[in-house]
Structure formats: C-alpha cells, structure tokens
C-alpha cells in the first residue's frame, strides 16, 4: 500500500472517506468487506498519526469533528490526485467519481449538473444534488456533505450570510449579478407584459420556499422577504411551486434565468424594482476544490453565459 511521507497510507485515507460518508465505522467496514475491528483500529491509528480527534463516536455512529471535516477535504484531494496520477502514467482506468452539490432552487444549477454528469467519462460515479433550504445548504458544505453550495446574496442579507459563512470556515465566490424577475405561468395575464411592478402583484398569491426552523427573513430564498403579502403560500420543492404558478396564477421572485427545457410552462418577466441579486457558490475557505467540483463550476458558468449574463469571475 502506498505510504505518504507522514506515515499515513492511502488505504487509511480511503477508509476515512468512506467512514465519513457512511456515518458509521461498522457500515463502512461492511461496505468495503473489511472486519469492523480492522476498520476501527485504522481510524484510531489515523487519529494518532495526525495528533487530532477526527471523529466523534456514539452509539448511533460517528460524526466529524471540526478538524475531521477539514481533514476530509484534504483526504479527498490526495486520493483524487493519486488516482489521476495512476491514470496518466500507469494506464489505470478512471476511478469512481464523487461530488455533492447543495443549491437553492435554480434550474440553471440543475442544467449544469446534467451537463457535468453527461460529460463524466467513467463507468462508475456517485453524485448528489440537493435542492435545499439556505441554512441546510451552508450546513451541508460546512460538514462536507456537499463540496459546493449555490445561493444568493443581496444588500439585505449580505451581512448575516457572510457572518455565518465566516463562522463556518466557508467563503462565498460571486458568479453573476441578476436583475429580479417574477416567475409565472405562461397563462398568467402578466405573461404578455414586458415588465411587472409590485402593484401588479398585489392580488396574486406569493409563492416562497419554506425555510423550516430557520425561517428568518435573512435566509429567505426570495428578495423582498420583509414585504407583507395578503396571499402567501410556502412550498418545499420546485415542482410544487411550478404547479401553483399554473393552478393559482401565483408568482415567485428569482433571477430570470430559467431553463425552457426543464420548465417549459414557466416564463420570467422583469420586475421593476431597484434591486440586484448576486448568485455565487460557497466552499471551504481552506480546502481546494476537487477536479470534479471545478468541472461542475465550469458547466455552471457556461449555462449562465448562454443566457447572456455577464460572469463576475
């Protein structure tokens, strides 16, 4: 087994990655056909060699410590780079690809994910795409359940979001600025308009994504979250919000970038307000991205650019 200069082995790193993914030493051992005592000993030896506690053990399994979450990011980098070296110089076949993405409810994020998967030239992969709540996206990335998160900032929520990201060891990288649009059904009377105003929306149900226990105005997925509405419906998924746009002539406020292929019955109409929406991705500030994550971000930028939106980086 290849050994690193520190005395760590790639086998230990691979074991640790699977233990973190399974949330259980015994489950990882079963997955890899390794005896549970062997896996447990490997994790204790790993922690002894790095001189830090990486796992919190309990009757329900294991969770990562703060050091463990950071170590996991670097372990993934080392294992991935070693696999690329083997492919390039030893003629080994491409290894199983891994990536987790958590995002607010944006069709362009799904479009980019589809393109990434189609371009992944390996026989085996394990990807995850979670359309989730704002707080959960940040938690997913903080705990490395996902490597990348996609969310928005504006003048209203920026200080709160940035403070939470700093406290979580995360960084926000801007992708683009968008003018606010309303998303409505093609059959909505406003669909024929060139622009809409807030007054036009007064008699329509406002549709927003539920933020669960963290239902703060600052974590809302839509801008103007503090404005009152006589008719408001909270939903948990994108399919439901589209059905309510069609069935109830409801609206939601978003970027204006919408995939006609994914959302053929929904149109975006510019909203006449003095606001901008900044879309970006979040990741660990101290952990470099894997090649697969960089591939996803390239596809994301390409999708957005096709809508004529100027990229920020």
The 10s digit of each residue's pLDDT in 209-222 is 998 887 788 999 99
Interval 222-233: pLDDT, tens: 988 888 888 999
Q: CA–CA separation, 10 vs 99, rounded Å? A: 19
Residues 240 and 204 in one domain: yes
Identify whether residues 228 and 148 lie together within a single domain: no
Helix (H), strand (E) counts: the chain:
9, 12
Of 31, 60, 89, the one marking the end of a domain is 89
Q: Which residues contact 252 (CB under 8 A, 6 or more apart)?
A: 182, 183, 206, 207, 208, 209, 222, 241, 245
Number of domains in the chain: 3
By residue range, what is the domain housing residue 24? 10-89
* pLDDT tens-digit readout, 166-184: 998 899 999 999 999 999 9
Q: Cα 115 from chain centroid?
A: 16
Q: Are 144 and 263 members of one domain?
A: no
Domain identity same for 62 and 122: no
**How do residues 94-106 score in pLDDT, each as one tens digit?**
556 678 899 999 9
β-strand pairing of 97-103 with 125-131: parallel
In a domain, 134, yes or no: yes
């Amino acid at each position: 087994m290849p050994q690193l200069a520190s005395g760590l082995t790639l086998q230990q790193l691979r074991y640790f990655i699977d233990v973190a993914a399974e949330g259980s030493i015994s489950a990882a051992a079963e997955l890899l056909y390794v005896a549970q005592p062997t896996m447990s000993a490997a994790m204790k030896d790993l922690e002894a060699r790095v001189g830090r506690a990486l796992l919190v053990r309990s009757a329900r399994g294991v969770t990562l410590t703060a050091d463990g979450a950071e170590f996991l990011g670097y372990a993934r980098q080392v294992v991935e780079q070693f696999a690329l070296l083997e492919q390039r110089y030893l003629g080994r076949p491409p290894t199983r690809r891994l990536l987790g993405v958590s995002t607010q409810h944006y069709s362009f994020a799904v479009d980019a994910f589809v393109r990434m998967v189609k371009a992944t030239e390996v026989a085996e992969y394990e990807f995850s795409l979670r359309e989730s709540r704002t707080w959960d996206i940040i938690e997913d990335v903080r705990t490395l359940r996902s490597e990348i998160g996609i969310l928005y900032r504006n003048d209203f929520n920026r200080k709160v979001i940035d403070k939470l990201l700093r406290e979580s060891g995360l960084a926000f990288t801007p992708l683009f600025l968008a003018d606010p649009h309303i998303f409505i059904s093609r059959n909505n009377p406003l669909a024929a308009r060139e622009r809409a105003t807030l007054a036009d929306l007064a008699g329509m149900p406002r549709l927003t994504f539920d933020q669960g226990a963290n239902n703060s105005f600052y974590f809302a997925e839509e801008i103007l979250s503090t404005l009152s509405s006589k008719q408001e419906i909270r939903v948990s998924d994108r399919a439901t919000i589209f059905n309510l746009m069609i069935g109830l002539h409801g609206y939601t406020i978003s970027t204006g970038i919408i995939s006609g292929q994914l959302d053929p019955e929904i149109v975006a109409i510019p909203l006449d307000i003095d606001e901008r929406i900044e879309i970006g991705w979040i990741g660990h500030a101290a952990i470099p991205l894997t090649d697969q994550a960089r591939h996803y971000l390239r596809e994301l930028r390409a999708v957005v650019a096709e809508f004529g939106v100027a990229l920020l980086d």
